[in-house]
């Protein structure tokens, strides 16, 4: 079949075949080849993963058993010994890649730096020795709260090298959010910077760390390491705080990678759920290394001459898996960018692509929608001909945005991989393989080989083609999260109890609604729980509600998402006030600011609506369905018979 033209697309013939020259050189070259891999993996998942683990990774010691599955707890490569920093660095040093660019960094404003594999290895070894010198031992947790600078990746790899699990906290989170995470993980040390650049302004990261640690409120933290990035004046507490460059300078570059057990914890990463405080998602070493390695290799189809750029922040799972670990394990050149498109520099992404000749580009639908708004003259003014593959992640992509990405950025030459996955899955689960699987705009297409995904109802029964249902995974995979840090029961409740086991087999509940079409393609609709996705950032409505009610003027709060053209969803908060507080625009702004202070700017509500009362059922549950309809300006439909006080609804509608 030939490439569809724009005319045929308008007639809804939206199936895009990989270009022949792409397929010929691809890791996986045809749909048949994908199907064979998929079938082989399905027939014997353990043999499939074991063969790849043996072929693709370095092990200090081979495993005894491939998998040990005691639902919902899984172990992969039992008793195997491995180190992901070794796989990302050392093993490339004995090859020609020794002097290949491992990390290209484009900083703000106008800074840049390139580290070869040999240089990166040296920095990581030195920094690992700095950590040891400060008493960090295997098993100790280390907090990382940093801007997008090479030191962030160096810090992660150094932690992995000595077996100290890292807990990276996104630099946009507030001091309060940072403190909660440091306390939950009982971090022994925090790595930060004097400041970081965010859209032409400096974020005072070190000040935030000081706030988080004030009054001994995170007592596990003994030391803070500070990278000098912006040359801000910062307070350095003697004995506790140290400059990175002071200690790095004198550190030995000899630091052999610690042989870790496959199931030793590699990192904790906090993510929002529908209830309670953010949970610490735990990933372990061997399975995560293999899963991010294989997905990077087959999905991004990296060639040795490629420059690969994922625009995420290392504070999110996408940065962990697809800026740092997956690409480096493959010996790729990974680009890290400190900036972000903004009014003063709307074309900066295209400048970076042109400057470095980026070949593979991975970004979020919310960014694409922002680019559409900024205008196609910006990308058209740059030479983007180096691009050969595009990817998206974070939320469903609307077909119009997909088409724009395909036409304007990819010049109708580049396949698009729409990758569905989660913090919990460690790596990409449902995606096209770019040389093999024809794409449909808006569909993440088919499961990665070894992933058994289904759409089911709440009894665990498969639904018919094109019927909506819940996205579930029916077999464990190597990159799967192992538990919630410090709360295995929450792990069980959140992911394994919404759907009952089927024929004795536990099903992983992803929290997303989806359907599979007649070709088996997956169409993910979005969260079915109280999690909202604002510009690709995942937030729990309950966290935002807790932040709101911590303000003295607020009696009750209910937060819902409403559709937003740019961000996908925006936050709407319905708020009732304490008796002596009065509704005003000033108070609205104050409450928005309050949430930003409590959680971070990403959680700032787009809209606050004051109400006399919230719609509740007779048993006292807030009827969010009604609020969602009201927030998005839809007619309130469906059953309202359980509403306790109907006049509440009328008032909200008028208000
Ligand atoms: C949630 C996970 C892991 C990548 C970054 C987000 C949504 C993610 C897609 C996609 C439709 C998507 C889901 C998922 N999501 N990618 N390609 N199509 N929805 O990680 O913060 O853990 O959020 O993001 O709703 O459950 P996360």
103-135: b (≥16 Cβ within 10 Å) or e = bbbbbbeeeeebbbbbbbbbbbbbbbbbbbebe
Q: Which pLDDT band holds residue 274 (cuts at 50, 70, 90)? A: confident
612 pLDDT higher than 60: yes
- How would you classify the pairing of strands 101-106 and 142-144? unpaired
Site to substitute for ligand 1 among 395, 470, 508, most atoms within 8 A of C-beta? 395
Paired with 418 in beta bridges are: 392
pLDDT of 655: 62
Question: Does the C-beta of 527 come closer than 6 Å to ligand 1?
Answer: yes
Question: Does the C-beta of 538 come closer than 6 Å to ligand 1?
Answer: yes
Residues 6+ apart with CB under 8 A from 132: 162, 255
Nearest CA to ligand 1 atom 11: 396
Q: Are 447 and 453 contacting, i.e. CB atoms less than 8 angstroms apart?
A: yes
The closest-lying atom of ligand 1 relative to the alpha carbon of residue 526 is 25
pTM, two decimals, is: 0.95
Question: Does the C-beta of 421 come closer than 6 Å to ligand 1?
Answer: yes
Tens of pLDDT, residue by residue over 73-90, are 999 999 999 999 999 999
The closest-lying atom of ligand 1 relative to the alpha carbon of residue 527 is 25
Distance from C-alpha of 286 to C-alpha of 531, rounded to nearest angstrom: 30
Q: Are 47 and 285 contacting, i.e. CB atoms less than 8 angstroms apart?
A: no
Q: Could you count the other beta carbons within 10 Å of the beta carbon of residue 179?
A: 21
Tens of pLDDT, residue by residue over 336-390, are 999 999 999 999 999 999 999 999 999 999 999 999 999 999 999 999 999 999 9
Nearest CA to ligand 1 atom 24: 394
Q: Which residue has the tokens 């947790």?
A: 141
Nearest CA to ligand 1 atom 1: 422
Nearest CA to ligand 1 atom 27: 422
Average pLDDT, integer, range 192-199: 94
Question: Does the C-beta of 313 come closer than 6 Å to ligand 1?
Answer: no
Helix (H, G, I), strand (E, B) or coil at 255: coil
Tens of pLDDT, residue by residue over 99-139, are 999 999 999 988 999 999 999 999 999 999 999 999 999 99
Nearest CA to ligand 1 atom 6: 394
Q: Which residue has the tokens 């914890």?
A: 265
Site to substitute for ligand 1 among 268, 312, 398, 421, most atoms within 8 A of C-beta? 421
Question: Does the C-beta of 558 come closer than 6 Å to ligand 1?
Answer: no
Tens of pLDDT, residue by residue over 31-54, are 999 999 999 999 999 999 999 999
Nearest CA to ligand 1 atom 8: 394
Helix (H, G, I), strand (E, B) or coil at 518: coil
Average pLDDT, integer, range 424-434: 98
pLDDT of 8: 39
pLDDT of 275: 85
Distance from C-alpha of 586 to C-alpha of 594, rounded to nearest angstrom: 12
Residue 510 tokens, joined: 């992803």
Q: Phi/psi at 81 (nearest 5 deg)?
A: -120, 130
pLDDT of 641: 78
Least confidently predicted of 14-28, 251-265, 608-622 = 608-622
Site to substitute for ligand 1 among 280, 316, 538, 543, most atoms within 8 A of C-beta? 538
Å from CA of 213 to ligand 1 middle: 32
Question: Does the C-beta of 537 come closer than 6 Å to ligand 1?
Answer: no
Question: Does the C-beta of 420 come closer than 6 Å to ligand 1?
Answer: yes
The closest-lying atom of ligand 1 relative to the alpha carbon of residue 397 is 18
Question: Does 109 sit behind a cis peptide bond, omega within 30 degrees of 0 on the bond before it?
Answer: yes
194 pLDDT higher than 80: yes
Q: How far is CA 426 from CA 236, 254, 276, in A?
A: 36, 30, 22
pLDDT of 619: 85
Distance from C-alpha of 513 to C-alpha of 385, rounded to nearest angstrom: 37
The closest-lying atom of ligand 1 relative to the alpha carbon of residue 538 is 21
The closest-lying atom of ligand 1 relative to the alpha carbon of residue 321 is 3
Å from CA of 427 to ligand 1 middle: 11
For helices 45-56 and 285-299, give the axis angle rounded to 10 degrees.
80
Burial class from Cβ neighbours inside 10 Å (0-12, 13-18, 19+) for residue 40 reads middle
């Amino acid at each position: 079949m030939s490439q569809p033209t724009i005319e045929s697309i308008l007639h809804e013939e939206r199936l895009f075949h990989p270009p022949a020259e792409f397929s010929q050189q691809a890791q996986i070259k045809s749909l048949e080849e994908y199907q064979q891999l998929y079938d082989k993996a399905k027939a014997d998942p353990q043999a499939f993963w074991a063969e790849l683990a043996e072929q693709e990774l370095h092990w200090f010691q081979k495993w005894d058993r491939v998998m040990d599955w005691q639902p919902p707890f899984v172990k992969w490569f039992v008793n195997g010994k491995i180190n992901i920093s070794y796989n990302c660095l050392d093993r490339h040093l004995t090859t020609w890649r020794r002097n290949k660019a491992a990390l290209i960094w484009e900083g703000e404003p106008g800074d840049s730096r390139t580290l070869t594999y040999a240089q990166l290895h040296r920095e990581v070894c030195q920094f690992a020795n700095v950590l040891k010198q400060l008493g960090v031992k295997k098993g100790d947790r280390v907090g990382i709260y940093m801007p997008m600078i090479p030191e962030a990746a160096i810090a992660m790899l150094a932690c992995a090298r000595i077996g100290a699990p890292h807990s990276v906290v996104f630099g946009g989170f507030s001091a309060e959010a940072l403190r909660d995470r440091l306390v939950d993980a009982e971090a022994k040390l925090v790595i930060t910077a004097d400041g970081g650049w965010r859209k032409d302004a400096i974020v005072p990261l070190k000040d935030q760390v000081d706030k988080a640690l004030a009054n001994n409120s995170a007592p596990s933290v003994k030391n803070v390491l500070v990278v000098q990035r912006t040359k801000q004046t910062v307070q350095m507490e003697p004995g506790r705080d140290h400059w990175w460059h002071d200690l790095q300078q004198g550190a030995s570059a000899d630091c052999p990678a610690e042989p870790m057990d496959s199931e030793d914890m590699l990192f904790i990463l906090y993510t929002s759920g529908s209830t309670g405080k953010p949970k610490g998602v735990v990933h372990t070493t061997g399975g995560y290394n293999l899963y991010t390695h294989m997905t990077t290799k087959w999905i991004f189809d990296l060639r040795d001459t490629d420059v690969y750029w994922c625009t995420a922040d290392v504070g999110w799972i996408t940065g962990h898996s697809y800026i740092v670990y997956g690409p480096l394990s493959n010996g790729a050149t990974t680009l890290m960018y400190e900036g972000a498109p903004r009014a003063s520099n709307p074309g900066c992404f295209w400048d970076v692509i042109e400057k470095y000749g980026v070949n593979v580009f991975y970004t979020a639908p919310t960014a694409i929608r922002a680019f559409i708004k900024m205008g196609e003259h910006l990308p058209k003014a740059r030479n983007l001909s180096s691009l050969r593959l595009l990817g998206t992640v974070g939320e469903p992509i609307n077909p119009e945005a997909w088409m724009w990405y395909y036409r304007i950025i990819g010049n109708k030459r580049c396949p698009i991989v729409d990758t569905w996955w989660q913090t919990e899955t460690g790596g990409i689960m449902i995606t096209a393989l770019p040389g093999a699987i024809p794409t449909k705009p808006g569909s993440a297409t088919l499961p990665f080989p070894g992933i058994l995904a289904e759409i089911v109802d709440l009894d665990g029964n498969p639904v018919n083609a094109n019927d909506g249902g819940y996205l579930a995974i029916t077999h464990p995979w190597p990159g799967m999260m192992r538990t919630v840090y410090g709360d295995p029961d929450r792990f069980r409740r959140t992911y394994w109890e919404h759907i009952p086991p089927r024929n004795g087999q536990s099903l992983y509940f992803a929290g997303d609604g989806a359907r599979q079409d007649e070709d088996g393609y997956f169409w993910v609709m979005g969260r079915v729980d109280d999690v909202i996705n604002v510009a690709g950032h995942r937030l729990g409505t309950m966290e935002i509600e807790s932040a709101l009610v911590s303000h003295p003027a607020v009696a009750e709060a209910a937060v819902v998402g409403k559709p937003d053209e740019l961000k996908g969803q925006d936050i709407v908060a319905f708020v009732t006030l304490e008796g002596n507080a009065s509704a005003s625009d000033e108070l609205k702004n104050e409450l928005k600011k309050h949430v930003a202070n409590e959680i971070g700017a990403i959680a700032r509500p787009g809209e606050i609506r004051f109400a006399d009362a919230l719609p509740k059922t007779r048993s006292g549950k807030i009827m969010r369905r009604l609020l969602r309809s009201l927030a998005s300006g839809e007619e309130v439909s469906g059953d309202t018979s359980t509403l306790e006080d109907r006049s509440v609804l009328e008032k909200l509608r008028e208000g």
